[in-house]
Structure 1
Amino acid sequence: MTIALSIGLIITSVLLIVLVLLHRAKGGGLSSLFGGGVQSSLSGSSVVEKNLDRITIFTGLLWLIFIIGYGLKIKYS
């Protein structure tokens, strides 16, 4: 159980870092490094940004569940 929680926590942590860096900020974010010209055509698409937001929120909730589960495992073991 502890190994599964640890692996899940590591995977969601790395994925959450990558997803947050992919968000477009005022400066363009890390996503501006990938694809150059492709990024300019995708920047006007609100569907891409909404999907990225949804995936980031879902990953954040999974990360929170793993944190709470890991904390409860430590507390009651």
Structure 2
Amino acid sequence: MDFLETALWVLLVLSSLIIIGLVLIHRGRGGGITDMFGGGFASGVQSSAVGERNLTRITWIVAIIWFMTIVLLGLITRFSI
């Protein structure tokens, strides 16, 4: 059980960092962090609407993984002896 808990903590940290990066890459709707840093990497990723849709899908997938990891860690904590 310790291995599973450790693996889930590592997954939680990694998915948290990935979500932060993905949210910062998203196209700004005016005055956001993307505009403050001048776009940079975001302008290459978001060259089309397809790129923005794919970025949104990836963000949602990582967010679901993040949420499920938190739920599993909560269940392990709740039912551990």
Q: TM-score range by the shorter chain?
A: 0.7 to 0.9
Q: Tell me if structure 2 keeps the 8 A contact 1:21–1:29.
A: yes
Q: More displaced, 18-27 or 3-12?
A: 18-27
Match of residue 43 from structure 2: 39
* CA separation of 1:32 and 1:50: change in aligned 2, threshold 3 A: farther
> What is the DSSP-based 3-state SS (H/G/I as helix, E as strand, rest coil) of the residue aligned with 1:39?
helix
Deviation at 1:39, TM superposition (A): 2.1
Under a length normalisation based on structure 2, what TM-score does the superposition of the two structures give? 0.78
CA offsets 1:38-64 (integer angstroms, 9 cap, x no match): 82881xx10000000000000000001
Deviation at 1:33, TM superposition (A): 3.3
Q: Write out the 4+ residue segments of structure 1 that deviate beyond 3 Å after TM superposition.
A: none
* CA separation of 1:48 and 1:33: change in aligned 2, threshold 3 A: same
Give the one of 55, 58, 77 matched to 1:74. 77
Segments of 5+ residues of structure 1 without an aligned counterpart are none
Percentage of identical aligned residues: 34
CA offsets 1:2-57 (integer angstroms, 9 cap, x no match): 1001000000000001001111122364374315xx82881xx1000000000000
CA-based RMSD of the aligned residues comes to 2.3
Segments of 5+ residues of structure 2 without an aligned counterpart are none
Match of residue 7 from structure 2: 4
Q: How many residues align?
A: 73
- Taking the aligned partners of 2:43 and 2:51, their CA distance within structure 1 comes to 11
